[in-house]
Chains A and B, each alone.
Chain A
Amino acid sequence: MADRFVPGMSVRTSRTDPPHHTRLPRYARGAVGTIVESLGRHPLPDDRARGLPCEPSQVYTVRFTARELFDAGDHAVTVDIWESHLTPVTDAEVVGP
């Protein structure tokens, strides 16, 4: 199955704060970043931790500017994120590299 996202694409992370374990760190919620690379398919721990059936799904390294995440800083942060926590960003929404 083809990857939904390819390197260079802009994506936004989920804003949801679920009442269970999630691998989307809180500081990276609702943020726009850029796909760096695809890391292969792995079961989503959010589901696995609750004993739910989970097919492996795509994981990506996503690069964010510190400014986007924290409104401050000149560095970048990359986070490895499962596909279901990401949505595509339209051109009009794109911010920064």
Chain B
Amino acid sequence: MSGDHHGSDAQLAAKVRQVETLLEERGLLDAAELDRALEAFLARASPANGARVVARAWLDDGFRARLLTDANTALGEVDLSMGGGLQEQRLNVVENTAEAHNVIVCTLCSCYPIALLGPSPTWYKSEAYRSRVVREPRAVLAEFGFDLDPAIAITVWDASAESRYMVLPHRPEGTETLDETELAALVTRNGLIGVAPV
């Protein structure tokens, strides 16, 4: 029974509110403190963070290697972390190359590295994306206007446990003269999910 994450946003919000109320009543949680924590977390959460990480990885092979082997530690080098939630989440950065392409999904709900990509887009949480991208990723990418070369192998990463995933897009050709800020400006949220080339 893995498909029991349904129900409307309103139902879910009501449940969350109920839990919050219980925690407040028992003195385990201060509502104002929770609001402050959420606001601070969301204020820092943006796809500009992921884009900055990608630009650095494109320019610095050492950083790229560290990012691919131990992303949580590498993030510290650019003053970012996966510790915005209750516990630090493990990040796995998966690299696109001339031969391999990666796409991320959470088929069970909508797990997503919010700190690096900002709040997730509605389509990412949709039943259609979650159920289809694991079965027919090329068709789904085509619907995003992304016709991937058939010779490039696709891996779809289902964030079904405690790890979060981010795609490191392949650096576009003709960007050799760009600096880190200019490179970061090329990177889109959809590129970090893998449904766009960059």
Measuring CB to CB, which residues of chain A are less than 8 angstroms from any residue of chain B?
A: 17-28, 39-40, 42, 59, 61, 63, 66, 69-70, 72-82
Q: A25-B2, A25-B107, A80-B162 are in contact. List 17 more A-B contacts (CB 8 A).
A: A19-B1, A22-B2, A23-B160, A24-B160, A25-B108, A25-B158, A25-B160, A26-B2, A40-B90, A40-B162, A63-B155, A73-B135, A73-B137, A78-B157, A78-B158, A79-B158, A79-B160
Q: Which residue of A lies closest to B111 (CB)?
A: A80
Interface check B27, CB cutoff 8 A: no
Tell me the count of chain B residues lying within 8 A, CB to CB, of chain A: 24
Measuring CB to CB, which residues of chain B are less than 8 angstroms from any residue of chain A?
A: 1-4, 90, 92, 107-108, 134-138, 153-163
Q: Decide: A77 and B90 in contact? CB cutoff 8 A.
A: no
Contacts A25-B160, A76-B156 given; does A39 touch B90 at CB 8 Å? yes
Q: Decide: A66 and B1 in contact? CB cutoff 8 A.
A: no
- A39 to B159 alpha-carbon distance, docked (Å): 12
Instruction: Tell me which residues across on chain B come within 8 A of A20, comparing CB atoms.
Output: 1
